Amino acid sequence: MFMKENLLRGNLADTPFPKVLFQIWQEKNSGYLRIKKGKIEKKICFINGSIAGDLASFPVNDFLKALVKNKIINSNQIKKYQNYARQNKASIIKSLIELEFFSPAHLWQLMADFFKKDLFSLFDWSKAEYYFESENVPGKSQILKENQTFNLILQGIRQMKNYGLIEAHLPAESERIELLFPYYFNEIIFEPHEKYLLGLMEDTKSLKKIYDSSETGKRETQKFIFASLSLGIVDFPQKKEKDSYEFSSEELEKILAAFNSKCSYIYKYISKEIGPVALNVLSKCLDDIKPQLDPSFQDLELRPDGKIEVKSILKMNFNLSNEKKWKNLLYNLDEILAAEILAVKRTLGNAHETVLIENLEKIGDLS
């Protein structure tokens, strides 16, 4: 529930790689995703859910081999760079620039391209152990490039060749499809043929009819539906009916009370350090997060005691008729808490953030 521990582990046989990436992005996690397949181990850095190529874990030796394979440099030149790096106590990356073989812009682009290609190879892995560790991530000076996770997921799925993996994670052709429009929908960069498929999915509800009528062919259509599932922009209503249930107004009130206990504590914590201006700090962070929240949260108000009132939820008969709606409510409440914690971090520093999170985990625990 609120401020849950970042515990993410499993096997790609059960949860495909793009869905793992999307979950980390959705929860705005920071740390490292580690994936192990036999003797091969990959390490991917995330900063607030964004995939970041960090210089500390960048596979320099593999990068150099790729440069040789692509005939950009040769093996004799590698020895020259390695000797220079050793003599000058410099990194290989710095040596490549100081020996004037690459301009910084050219080298950074080559590294970014290599990082993306290496990442894309994981999309076709059908089996591999993975786990996510929340740990300190490098500062901006050590980041090669931050990537918008959901667009990188779409790019990675476009180049997939493992159609068996794709088919294994798609529902039966008898299922009916529902196109969703989450808040980040307009930020996803679709290709023209994908926009065509979105229109087809909106007009045609039967998965089989979509396959039969799609001008892109069944395989490419399946690939895009797999991408849409991974990005949370389609759903299958028949599946939802199996676990449909309602939550009482008492449960909703209990959730909101626990949520506001945390909000009130955050306000008291930061106001103790900076005084009355704390209300302005939290108010600004809520204004900043509003565009990312569900429409039902657009009228939220910060009260003088630090609690948050969402009139549209309190006034209407909030019918949480299935698990998806319930999870959406919890997701939005978590987003608000995360925004306030980030405001505390920016105002008071990392040490205060750590103390605050530890204390919040003890407040309003509904698990």
pTM over 0.85: no
- Over the chain, what is the mean pLDDT? 85
DSSP 321: -
The per-residue pLDDT for 365 is: 52
Could you read off the pLDDT of 215-234 as tens digits, one per residue? 999 999 999 999 999 999 99
Q: How far is CA 343 from the centre of its chain?
A: 20
**Which among 165, 178, 183, 181 has a CA at the least distance from the CA of 219?**
165
The per-residue pLDDT for 324 is: 63
User: Which neighbouring-strand residues pair with 206?
Assistant: 176
Cβ atoms of 147 and 19 within 8 Å: the answer is no
Could you read off the pLDDT of 110-167 as tens digits, one per residue? 999 999 999 999 999 999 999 998 877 777 777 877 888 999 999 999 999 999 999 9
Q: Which amino acid is at 286?
A: L
DSSP 217: -
Q: Where are the alpha helices (DSSP H) in 57-100?
A: 60-69, 75-88, 92-98
The per-residue pLDDT for 129 is: 94
Does residue 240 surpass a pLDDT of 50?
no
- In whole angstroms, give the CA distance from residue 221 to residue 130: 28
Residue corresponding to tokens 């582990």:
9
Q: Which amino acid is at 57?
A: S
Could you read off the pLDDT of 61-113 as tens digits, one per residue? 899 999 999 999 998 888 888 899 999 998 888 999 998 788 999 999 999 99
Q: What is the 3-state secondary structure (H, E, C) of 9-63?
A: EEECCCCCHHHHHHHHHHCCCCEEEEEEECCEEEEEEEECCEEEEEHHHCCHHHH
- In whole angstroms, give the CA distance from residue 364 to residue 76: 63
The per-residue pLDDT for 248 is: 64
**Which among 153, 149, 186 has a CA at the least distance from the CA of 30?**
149
Q: Say which range, 141-150, 246-255, 271-280, 335-344, has the weakest mean pLDDT.
A: 246-255
The per-residue pLDDT for 197 is: 96
Residue corresponding to tokens 């929860």:
27
What sign for the dihedral angle of Cα 64, 69, 73, 75? positive
The per-residue pLDDT for 103 is: 92
Exposed/middle/buried for residue 291 (C-beta within 10 Å: 0-12, 13-18, 19+): exposed
